[in-house]
Amino acid sequence: METALPGLRGRGFALLIAATAISLCGFTAALPLVPLWAARGGVGEFGAGGTTAAFMLTTVITQLAMPWLLERGGYRWAFPVGSLIMGLPAPLFALTADLGVLVTVSAVRGVGFGMVTVAGTVLAARLVPQDQVGRATGYYGLAVGLPQVVILPGGVALALSIGFETTFWLTGLCSVAGAALSACIWYADGGRNRPAMRSDPAHRSAPVRTSPAALAVPLVLMLVTAATASGIVTFLAIPFERTAWLAGGALAAYAAAVVIGRWSAGTLHDRHRRTLLLLPGTAAAVLGAALATVALWSVPGPGAQPGAGTALLVVAGAFLFGLGFGAVQNETVTLMLNRTGPAGYGRASAVWNIGYDAGTGAGAILLGLLIQLLGYGPAFAVTALVLAAALPLALGRKVRTT
């Protein structure tokens, strides 16, 4: 029965949060490191973005299959197996900066990431009663986002100080440790989590018939905001490589703001039983992207020394965009979960994660091409304009939970 679930205070949910935070440290560290490692090998921004695109392509392909896999026993094993697939190949990055190797290893790791993201989002919702889903997704967002506050800037700084090879080994070990923790959820809380980790959804409720159009708006919003976020995470460190404090500060501001935005949206959702921050979050993301664009327009290229005004705009833009992006993340996922109902959580999670990761991959490859053709400022301006064009989709989305 749903009332028997330990919920937010259960050891199983705590293990999920810990496994997510530790496992995704490997993903977070590699996201800016692999493109930077590739760029150092002389492949250019387009090739560097290609490593992220390959990772996200296999991620999305895997996510398409995840609802089918979850309903065939995958709730129990998908997270630990995915973490192993993501972690074990990571040290191979240290062997060479050859683009073919980097793309291949990234593609393999993307399969594991696709399994972890869908399974983690679903478990965050299934391990708690329905009146805790907003906070559960908020906590899950904290587990994904808080490590980024340290790992996004710290991973780059660590690689530049102790070497990329050692850092790639450490990222792999993180995901392996996350696999071990997630495997213990089945045994936690005296087995009370097991009904939520079985494929039969009858212990929750009957399926809710949901048309594809009901998920289309949150999917599009997730796509465009994730594409813009990909530009910030993938390329921000490259033009500011010689001013590591600025690249690190901007990435830390972005990561901290994502956590704040996502947690705030989850808490308000449970309190008011509706989504409230989709429009304000999208607007904040647009403004943040615009500030970053103005700053990057004045930077001629990698290695340039920014002035104080540019540095302030970069950090402020990254923070404001992160705040909006965090809110959009939680609002879109709760919209999808509410519209499909508990029995459709696997499908909602897959669609949401596809929007997130397809946007991230497409943003990396397209922005890399635009940067090579136009430069950093004009390329980021294009992403800001696309994001602004999606603002009307966020209107009128204060949807009450049924």
Full-model pTM: 0.75
What's the CA dihedral at 159, 160, 166, 168 to 10 degrees? 30
| 8 belongs to a structural domain | yes
Write out the two tokens for 90: 């990571």
Please, are residues 303 and 39 in contact by the beta-carbon 8 Å criterion? no
| 186 belongs to a structural domain | yes
Pure H helices in 70-163? 75-87, 99-126, 133-162
Pick from 83, 24, 11: which is nearest to 259 by CA?
Answer: 24
Q: Mean pLDDT lowest for which of 115-119, 232-236, 310-314?
A: 232-236
C-alpha span between 16 and 80 (Å, rounded)? 10
| 286 belongs to a structural domain | yes
| 401 belongs to a structural domain | no
> What confidence category does residue 210 fall into, taking pLDDT thresholds of 50, 70 and 90?
low
Write out the two tokens for 151: 């790992």
| 402 belongs to a structural domain | no
- In the predicted model, what is the mean pLDDT of residues 228-235? 81
Share of residues in the chain with pLDDT > 90 (%): 28
C-alpha span between 137 and 266 (Å, rounded)? 7
CATH of the domain at 87: 1.20.1250.20
- Tens digits of per-residue pLDDT, 163-185? 888 889 998 999 999 999 999 99
What is the residue range of 370's domain? 2-394
- In the predicted model, what is the mean pLDDT of residues 222-239? 83
Q: Residue 77 contacts by C-beta under 8 Å, 6 or more apart in sequence?
A: none
C-alpha span between 53 and 220 (Å, rounded)? 18
| 74 belongs to a structural domain | yes
- Share the mean pLDDT of the chain: 83
C-alpha span between 123 and 74 (Å, rounded)? 11
Pick from 139, 158, 131, 370: which is nearest to 248 by CA?
Answer: 158
Number of domains in the chain: 1
- Tens digits of per-residue pLDDT, 35-58? 888 888 777 767 777 887 788 889
> What confidence category does residue 299 fall into, taking pLDDT thresholds of 50, 70 and 90?
low
φ, ψ at 336 (rounded to 5°): -65, -45
β-sheet bridge partners, residue 400? 274
| 142 belongs to a structural domain | yes
- In the predicted model, what is the mean pLDDT of residues 263-280? 82
> What confidence category does residue 137 fall into, taking pLDDT thresholds of 50, 70 and 90?
confident
C-alpha span between 268 and 279 (Å, rounded)? 14
pLDDT at 204 over 50: no
DSSP codes of every residue in 304-351: ----HHHHHHHHHHHHHHHHHHHHHHHHHHHHHHHHH-GGGHHHHHHH
C-alpha span between 37 and 42 (Å, rounded)? 9
Handedness of CA 373, 378, 379, 382 (dihedral sign): negative
| 400 belongs to a structural domain | no
